[in-house]
Amino acid sequence: MISFNHLASVLDALPDPCFILSRSGKYVAVFGGKDSRYYHDGSGLVGLKISDLIRADKADWFLQKIDAALQSRKLLIEEYELSNSDVKGLPDEGPDKPIWFEGRIQALDFLVEDEEVVLWVASNISERHELESRLRTLSDTDQLTNLYNRRRMERDLTLQYQSFVRHSTETSVLMLDLDNLKQINDTLGHHVGDKVILAIADICRSQLRQTDIACRFGGDEFVIALPNIEIEHAGQFAARLCECIKMELASFSEDGIEATVSIGVTTFVPQDQSYEDALKRVDNALYQAKRKGKNTVVCA
């Protein structure tokens, strides 16, 4: 038979910290947290409230989760982060990155001081979260240019299209294609062609806002999404980008071959059934730019 003392020893030896928290956010009891790589002694928390320790908006989030667990009476699992700035009284210097936790919250069937309580088990998942973040970045990133890849662009364009349908949020789409890549590869070598593609990616990055989205759509083709930009201004931006690329790539132009781009421009319209309709339209505009002699912009 396991005695009460044995059970207390088991609880105290748990590697992850376990908190009993009241509905009002009071720390009623603290167990475990013996994995010293991730946790400090939490015994000093007993009697304090979450709001005593954490800034107001973050403390409200914890209280909301406690309430949700008490309402549902089911196990609630939440991932959350805590940074140095979230905790009251800490100096500004501290870990550069937030610490990520997985919280498992379960309502308990007894009261403490006439308040409902939950068990909150907090597991440090920072290493796992960082690995998952790296894997997501790799899966979303073009390996040559470090721009987003086609899969990520399609996902982002879907979200932009949904925002257009629900809120009439304008989004313009650019598709640009390197002119004369075959001649560059044949004359100067494929390694130079890759350098030109890299240079275009760098120029795009330097010209875009943080809210803009750029991807290598395939080969020497790029797609740029400009949220909250109407087609007139998108066309003006495309013309500046076209000229900037021509100037920046002048060093790659030789033997009568010019390293330039052609650009098609469009925006979501009410007739579009999906983002794919806009992509078809901008692809056709790009084709028209090529037919016009390249190094030009066509809006559709």
| Ordered structural domains, the chain, with CATH | 4-131 (3.30.450.20), 141-299 (3.30.70.270)
On whether the CB atoms of residues 205 and 214 are closer than 8 A, the answer is: yes
Of 248, 285, 296, the residue nearest 172 (C-alpha): 285
Find, among 58, 39, 46, 44, the residue nearest to 21 by Cα: 46
Main-chain dihedrals φ then ψ at residue 46, nearest 5 degrees? -60, 130
Dmax over Cα atoms in the chain, in whole Å? Answer: 90
* Owner of token pair 């207390």: 8
Q: Which residues pair with 296 in a beta bridge?
A: none
**Phi first, then psi: what are they for 158, rounded to 5°?**
-60, -45
pLDDT tens for the chain, 300 residues long, are 666 777 778 888 889 999 999 999 999 999 998 888 888 888 889 999 999 999 999 999 999 999 999 999 999 999 999 888 888 765 555 556 788 999 999 999 999 999 999 999 999 998 887 887 777 777 888 989 999 999 999 999 999 999 999 999 999 999 999 988 888 887 778 888 889 899 999 999 999 998 999 999 988 999 999 999 999 999 999 999 999 999 888 887 776 778 889 999 999 999 999 999 999 999 999 999 999 989 999 999
Please choose, from the candidates 292, 296, 297, the residue with its C-alpha nearest in 3D space to the C-alpha of residue 266.
297
Contact 62, 54 (CB under 8 A): yes
What residues are paired with 145 via a beta bridge?
none
